[in-house]
Structure 1
Amino acid sequence: MLYWAVVFLVVAIIAGVLGFGGIAGAAAGIARILFFIFLILLVLTLVANIFGGQGP
């Protein structure tokens, strides 16, 4: 998921440099959403590993 966030970020930067403001804004928005979903899943995984770890 982080890979796709970076891909959309690169697309947004290239589109912005070339003057495609609408496409750049949309790609940046998608990249931001994917990045935050990645962060939420990362935190949930870390919490699950801490509290659901192996017993003795």
Structure 2
Amino acid sequence: TAPVQFELGETEDLIPGGKLGSATEDVMKELGYSEDEIKAAEAEGAVCGPVDLAVLQGK
């Protein structure tokens, strides 16, 4: 669903798919980071792994 809605017609409610950060490790690997570097970045809080979007909504 498009994040912008116009009054021209009906649109379905936006239902986010996946999890926030679900591709972080894959992207970092493509950029050349090692497994140890990725885990260190996660431990430092510089990046995060998959997070359920409900967490961001305070649920």
The TM-score, its normalising length taken from structure 1, stands at 0.30
